[in-house]
C-alpha cells in the first residue's frame, strides 16, 4: 500500500498546488502531477527508465495530434477574407466586453470579415483609430465545439515595419516575417487601456516613435491582413517550416512539426 499512497499523495499535492493563485505554484503543480505518473510506473516496474518514460510521455502527447491531424492539413497559399455577419457574441466569452471597451476608447467600426484557417472558422470585427494610428481586430474563433475570442492591435510605419499586440491565448503556429514585431500578452489581459498602453510601450521599445507610424486606412484592412499572411507564409517556406504541395496549398514539413511541438510545450506550461 505504501507505493500507492505515495503516488496518491504526490498527485494530491500537485492538484492542491494547481488551485493556488500564484502562477509559479500552479506551474509547479503541473510538474508534480506529471511526477506522479512517473512514480506510478517506477513502483509498478521497479525501473528508473520506466519512471522517466512515464514522466516524459506528457511531453510527447502532442505528437499524437501532430502526426495525425496536423500532418494531413493542407492550407491555402492565398487565403481571402470575405464578408461575414458577426457571430452570436453570447457564444464567445468576453467578446461583447472587448467590443464595448474598443468603442469607449474611441475606435470606430470598419468591417466584418472572416475566413477558414487551420480547421478553424475565424470571424473578425475590424476597428480603427486615426489618433492612435492603429487598427484593432476582435477575432471570434470556433474550432469544432471550442470557441474563444481575442483582440489584436496593429500599427505600421512608413518603412514597412509592423507592430502587433495581442492577447491571443496560444503560441503562434508560424514564425513571424522580418520587420514584424509580435507582442503577445497573457490571455488574462482584457482591459483595452492596458492593451493599448502595452502596445505603445512595445513600439517604443523597438526605437520607433508615434510620428513614425502611418495613418490606418479602414478600407484596406482586408488587403493588408491578406498581404501580411502571404508574407508570413513565404518567409516560413524559406525557413523550411512549411512546404508547397503543388496545388496552391502548403503543409507543415518535418521541421515545422518540431516547431509546432515546441509551441505546444510552451502552451502547456503557459496555460497551466
Residue of 268 and 136 predicted with greater confidence = 136
- Residue 33's domain comprises 2-60
DSSP class of 206: T
User: Mean pLDDT throughout 93-98?
Assistant: 78
Identify the pLDDT of residue 187.
64
Whether 53 has a pLDDT exceeding 70, the answer reads: yes
Q: What is the pTM of this model?
A: 0.81
| Whether 207 and 154 share a structural domain | yes
Choose among 168, 166, 215: nearest CA to 192: 166
Identify the pLDDT of residue 88.
73
| Whether 48 and 83 share a structural domain | no
Identify the pLDDT of residue 156.
92
Q: How many domains does the chain have?
A: 2
Q: Alpha carbon of 240 to those of 78, 113, 180, 258: distances in Å?
A: 18, 30, 19, 11
Q: How does pLDDT run across 171-217, given as a tens digit for each residue? A: 899 999 999 999 988 766 667 888 888 999 999 888 888 888 888 88
Label residue 1 by pLDDT band (50, 70, 90). low
| Whether 35 and 120 share a structural domain | no
Of these ranges, 9-18, 123-132, 186-195, the one predicted with the greatest mean pLDDT is: 123-132
DSSP class of 69: I
| Whether 56 and 176 share a structural domain | no
Cβ 171 vs Cβ 263: under 8 Å = yes
| Whether 100 and 235 share a structural domain | yes
| Whether 208 and 258 share a structural domain | yes
Label residue 137 by pLDDT band (50, 70, 90). very high
Give the C-alpha separation, 92 to 102, whole Å: 16
Amino acid at each position: 500500500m505504501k507505493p500507492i499512497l505515495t503516488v496518491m499523495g504526490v498527485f494530491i499535492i500537485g492538484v492542491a498546488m494547481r488551485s493556488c493563485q500564484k502562477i509559479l505554484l500552479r506551474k509547479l503543480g503541473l510538474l508534480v502531477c506529471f511526477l506522479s505518473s512517473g512514480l506510478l510506473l517506477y513502483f509498478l516496474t521497479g525501473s528508473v527508465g520506466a519512471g522517466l518514460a512515464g514522466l516524459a510521455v506528457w511531453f510527447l502527447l502532442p505528437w499524437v495530434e501532430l502526426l495525425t491531424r496536423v500532418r494531413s492539413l493542407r492550407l491555402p497559399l492565398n487565403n481571402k477574407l470575405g464578408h461575414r455577419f458577426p457571430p452570436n457574441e453570447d457564444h464567445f466569452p468576453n467578446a461583447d466586453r472587448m467590443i464595448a471597451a474598443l468603442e469607449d476608447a474611441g475606435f470606430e467600426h470598419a468591417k466584418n470579415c472572416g475566413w477558414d484557417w487551420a480547421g478553424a472558422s475565424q470571424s473578425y470585427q475590424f476597428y480603427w483609430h486615426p489618433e492612435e494610428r492603429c487598427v484593432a481586430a476582435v477575432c471570434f474563433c470556433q474550432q469544432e465545439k471550442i470557441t474563444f475570442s481575442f483582440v489584436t492591435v496593429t500599427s505600421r510605419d512608413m518603412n514597412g515595419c509592423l507592430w502587433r499586440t495581442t492577447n491571443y491565448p496560444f503560441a503562434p503556429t508560424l514564425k513571424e516575417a522580418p520587420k514584424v514585431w509580435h507582442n503577445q500578452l497573457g490571455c488574462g489581459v482584457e482591459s483595452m487601456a492596458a492593451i493599448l498602453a502595452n502596445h505603445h510601450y512595445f513600439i517604443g521599445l523597438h526605437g520607433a516613435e508615434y510620428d513614425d507610424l502611418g495613418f490606418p486606412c479602414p478600407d484596406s484592412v482586408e488587403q493588408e491582413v491578406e498581404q501580411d499572411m502571404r508574407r508570413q507564409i513565404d518567409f516560413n517556406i524559406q525557413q523550411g517550416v512549411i512546404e508547397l504541395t503543388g496545388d496552391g496549398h502548403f503543409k507543415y514539413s518535418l521541421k515545422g512539426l518540431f516547431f509546432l511541438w515546441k509551441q505546444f510545450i510552451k502552451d502547456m506550461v503557459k496555460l497551466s
